[in-house]
A = this chain, B = another copy of it.
Amino acid sequence: MTDFAGTGKVTGERAGAMKFASDNWAGASEKVIAALAEAARRGGPAYGGDALSKAVEDRFAEVFEHEVAVFPVATGTAANALALSAYARPGGIIFCHADAHVAVDEAGAAEFLAGLKVSGIAGADGKLSLAALREALAMVPEGATHRGQPAAVSLTNITEIGTAYSADEITAVAEVARGRGAPVHLDGARFAGAVAALGVTPAELTWRAGVDVMSFGGTKNGCVAADAVIFFQPSDAREFAFIRQRAGHTFSKHWFAAAQFDAYLKDGHWLELARRANAMGAKLAEAIARSRIARLALPAAANEVFAILPKTVDERLRAAGAIYYAWPDTASISSAPAPDEVLVRLVTSFATSEADVKAFAGALVTNS
């Protein structure tokens, strides 16, 4: 069977491998590990009753320049499905891009945990098309008992194909959602990369643009397991402690999650890590563009590079030890691969070195 992203089938622990499979193949930042070690010596009240868990909420409020309610959970999938649960309604429908993680990579978590229908919407460059979103919403008019009702609109930034929504683009989506009374969820598994890439503030990409709740991901950017649901309207979180608990996502040693976020957010460490990953992404993209052997499928905004390779080159690179996924979802990519080509995703991380990129660039052009 096909071996593509989402299947979790690519493996590789070969020495010297050029690992671009995903940013969740990287380890963790030293600062994050040091914070865990410190928390391990200290301990504290369980289930979030400790001082650090409270302090981290304040730190998030500072980062976002807004009151927030913060709930660490175990994974980005949990963050997405549980955030959406807070807005679930009987017959509720989530509208998101057809390629969104919540639509295709969570084994039905939103359906299962939140009882929602997931409606995938088309859109170029991995972004929701406003026209398609409006059309989809029009198909579930208010009171249409059979059709269901909008529960939320969810968007992903950095998108699944490595592009970035600008604050204005998010605002435009939020306005359409608001027109139907639907809250806006942001899947921010790679949110740090978006902030770093766009040079805007976290506030501008979230509540100022109309986002009500987000999945804030630290795991892909240097943490051990640090994903959190962040509500910008704390009253929306009224029942969330119960939502989290009945899904088995309340960490007992909650301060370990808090410690990670504390170190991650302190002194802009999170953006420093993201800038490093993005810089490596840019270098990788440049090497590909320059190679005349492969081409970029679309411009890389952050740390994900989508490239189209001749199949022979793909085989050569893999034989040389490069690790990355073929990418199956081509619908929103304008420049589609030819039959003898393959669309691939290459992901850099905070841990990617210039040497890694150079090795790949070299392998790309070498006719071994």
CA A142 to CA B48, docked complex, whole Å: 17
Known: A77-B248, A111-B117, A251-B225. A242 touches B42 (CB 8 A): no
Q: Is A78's beta carbon under 8 Å from chain B?
A: yes
Q: Is A337's beta carbon under 8 Å from chain B?
A: no
Q: Interface stretch among A88-96, A165-173, A273-281?
A: A88-96
A115–B112 CB distance below 8 A: yes
Q: Interface stretch among A143-151, A283-291, A305-313, A356-364?
A: A143-151
| Set B12, B146, B149: member contacting A105, Cβ < 8 A | B146
The distance from the CB of A87 to the nearest CB of chain B, in whole angstroms, is 12
Known: A1-B143, A149-B242, A225-B251. A107 touches B90 (CB 8 A): yes
| Interface SS of chain A | loop
For A104, the closest partner residue in chain B by CB is: B147
Q: Is A181's beta carbon under 8 Å from chain B?
A: no
For A255, the closest partner residue in chain B by CB is: B27
Within A49-93, the residues touching B (CB, 8 Å) are 49-51, 73-82, 85, 89-93
Contact partners of A32 in chain B: CB under 8 A: 40
Known: A11-B49, A74-B74, A141-B7. A107 touches B41 (CB 8 A): no
Q: Is A2's beta carbon under 8 Å from chain B?
A: yes
Report the interface size for chain A: residues with CB under 8 A from the other chain: 101
Contact with B along A1-42 (1 / 0, CB 8 A): 110101111111100000101101111111011001101111
| Known pairs A25-B46, A74-B249 / 4 extra A-B pairs, C-beta < 8 Å | A22-B46, A33-B36, A111-B246, A143-B241
A248–B9 CB distance below 8 A: no
Q: Is A159's beta carbon under 8 Å from chain B?
A: no
Q: Is A118's beta carbon under 8 Å from chain B?
A: yes
Contact partners of A107 in chain B: CB under 8 A: 90-91, 145-148, 242, 245-246
For A8, the closest partner residue in chain B by CB is: B47
Within A220-269, the residues touching B (CB, 8 Å) are 220, 224-225, 239-253, 256
Contact partners of A45 in chain B: CB under 8 A: 10-13, 21, 25
Q: Is A44's beta carbon under 8 Å from chain B?
A: yes
20 contacts between A and B (CB under 8 A): A4-B141, A7-B141, A8-B46, A8-B144, A9-B49, A9-B143, A9-B144, A12-B45, A21-B45, A25-B45, A33-B36, A74-B74, A80-B248, A89-B242, A91-B243, A107-B145, A109-B246, A111-B115, A117-B118, A220-B252
